[in-house]
DNA sequence: GTCGATTTCTACACCTGGTATACATTTACA
DNA sequence: TGTAAATGTATACCAGGTGTAGAAATCGAC
């Protein structure tokens, strides 16, 4: 029915162009004046589209910005499923994250291309956008739990707990990197520290919090 | 200035009554017809208060429901700070959670009083309310990280990572219990399983995910 | 090409959550 | 009892989001 790989057809191509045009117009305006200072009506006008049409392409204002992250939702689950034999899920995820740092994947929070840096900064200072990203996090967690359950022969609760911990750590690392870059650090400056932190974090996941000290210094 | 412990004063008392009255009217309506099917105007009318006044007491519609959970935001942090000497933070939190199960604290998701069960059910099926609860989770995570950093002599990143993991696990457990009760199970039926699950979860936190299997069964 | 069916876009009106303003009422306290 | 400060109210307004009905474009078949 929906041949995406084939000739997409004029209709499909036009749809994608409109989609991209609206999103680009929106992000340009948001970066210029701030997310909350631009109304969807103004975005629609700038994109030369009616408000109704805008909402046909994007279910909510926030999606004008965060739709780019939708692909990454299921990334962890895919990594776990595609891992080589005899590799533990955690090892696969650590490899993948370290690779993301190396490749400066926005997923890892370590991309400082000016446009991406500006985008991150805007997201970080706009609560509504953070909330929307948290939703991606939830579904990422759910799909990861499923992947763990199915490929690691793990009881349901264990899979859900492990997924929750992994995603929480992942999110903490990425947010930390993004925050540092947003406030001026370059990706190259941050890289070594980011690697250290990631390794520390995955070690903590692997070995547990057993070593958290008792009271006192 | 603000003597809460003393005679509260007429103004203060009246304010609290109004606060409670609005919230009760709101929850009654929401339980009857569903959160999204009731407008704030209707709540205001039912509480015999103007819409403007309602928003003076509750910053957003969702807060009419979730303000009851606000106290628990910093609970984990308090538990960690108040733990006895020579007790690890994790042990204190485990004790506290198990105690919450015993006491059927709504915090643990294991309270089946009809009104609370109905409330939980409504929250679980209303995305906007879950989102609002997630915000509490975030600030709970931040305050817990601070408590760990200050009382366990832990580097900042470690504290944040540990807090993220702990809160994620806590949330998973509580949500699991609440979901089961919402779909009919009684608290007494669930209790033993809830304890087992909690102990398993805290053991996982303590010992790490090292034992997550490689591929295959 | 051209015709009809289907999809997509648009204009417009409407609902709801939330806020600003300006005025009335109540409380606290001398 | 009178007055300043705090609270409550009416009204109008803004922005996000949806329903509806019709106009326009696209597609496939001939």
Task: Name the average pLDDT for chain B.
Answer: 92
- In Å, what is the separation between the CA of B49 and the C1' of D8? 8
Cα separation, A76 vs A157, whole angstroms:
18
At the top level of CATH, the class of A66-207 is mainly alpha
Report the candidate in A78, A77, A81, A83 with the shortest Cα–Cα distance to residue A160.
A77
Rounded to an integer, the average pLDDT of A77-89 is: 96
Domain boundaries defined on chain A = 10-59, 66-207
Q: Name every chain A residue with its beta carbon within 8 A of the beta carbon of B81.
A: none
First vs last C-alpha separation in chain B: 66
- In Å, what is the separation between the CA of A40 and the C1' of C4? 36
User: Which pair of tokens denotes residue A158?
Assistant: 């264990």
Task: Name the average pLDDT for chain A.
Answer: 92
- Tell which CATH architecture fits domain B9-60: Orthogonal Bundle (1.10)
Q: Is the fold of A10-59 the same as that of A66-207?
A: no
CB A204 to CB B160 under 8 A? no
Give me the pLDDT at residue B215, please: 67
Strand C: protein residues, Cβ closer than 7 A: A 11, 14-15, 18, 48-53, 56-57; B 9-12, 14, 38-41, 51-52, 55, 59-62
Q: Name every chain B residue with its beta carbon within 8 A of the beta carbon of A90.
A: 209, 212
CB A216 to CB B85 under 8 A? yes
Tell which phi-psi region holds residue B104, choosing left (phi > 0), alpha (psi between -120 and 50) or beta. left
Give me the pLDDT at residue A212, please: 80
Evaluate if residue A12 carries a pLDDT over 80.
no
* A34: number of Cβ within 10 Å: 12
**Which of the residue ranges A118-132, A139-153, A203-217, B165-179 would you say has the lowest mean pLDDT?**
A203-217
- Return the nearest residue to D20, CA–C1': A52
Provide the CB-side half-sphere exposure for B174 (13 A, CA).
23
**Which of the residue ranges A98-102, A174-178, B68-72, B161-165 would you say has the lowest mean pLDDT?**
B68-72
pLDDT in tens, B88-142: 999 999 999 999 999 999 999 999 999 999 999 999 999 999 999 999 999 999 9
Please state the pTM of the whole predicted model: 0.92
CB B216 to CB A85 under 8 A? yes
Give me the pLDDT at residue A4, please: 37
| Nearest-CA distance A215 → chain B (Å) | 6
Give me the pLDDT at residue B217, please: 47
List bases in chain C with any atom under 7 Å of a protein Cβ.
7-13, 15-21, 27-29
Rounded to an integer, the average pLDDT of B168-177 is: 98
Cα B14 from chain centroid?
27
- Tell which CATH architecture fits domain A10-59: Orthogonal Bundle (1.10)
């Amino acid at each position: 029915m929906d041949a995406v790989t084939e000739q997409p057809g004029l209709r499909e191509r036009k749809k994608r162009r409109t989609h991209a045009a609206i999103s680009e117009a929106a992000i340009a305006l948001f970066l210029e004046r701030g997310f909350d200072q631009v109304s969807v009506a103004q975005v629609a006008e700038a994109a030369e589209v009616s408000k109704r049409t805008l909402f046909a392409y994007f279910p909510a204002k926030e999606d004008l910005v965060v739709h780019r992250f939708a692909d990454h939702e299921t990334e962890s689950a895919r990594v776990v499923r595609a891992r080589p034999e005899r590799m533990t899920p955690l090892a696969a995820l650590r490899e993948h994250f370290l690779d993301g740092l190396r490749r400066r994947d926005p997923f890892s929070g370590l991309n400082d291309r000016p446009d991406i840096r500006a985008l991150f900064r805007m997201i970080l200072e706009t609560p509504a956008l953070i909330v929307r990203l948290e939703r991606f996090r939830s579904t990422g967690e759910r799909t990861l739990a499923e992947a763990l359950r199915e490929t690691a022969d793990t009881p349901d609760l264990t899979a859900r707990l492990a997924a929750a911990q992994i995603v929480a750590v992942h999110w903490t690392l990425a947010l930390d990197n993004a925050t540092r870059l947003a406030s001026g650090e370059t990706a190259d400056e941050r890289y070594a520290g980011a690697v250290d932190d990631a390794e520390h974090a995955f070690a903590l996941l692997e070995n547990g919090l057993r070593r958290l000290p008792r009271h006192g210094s």
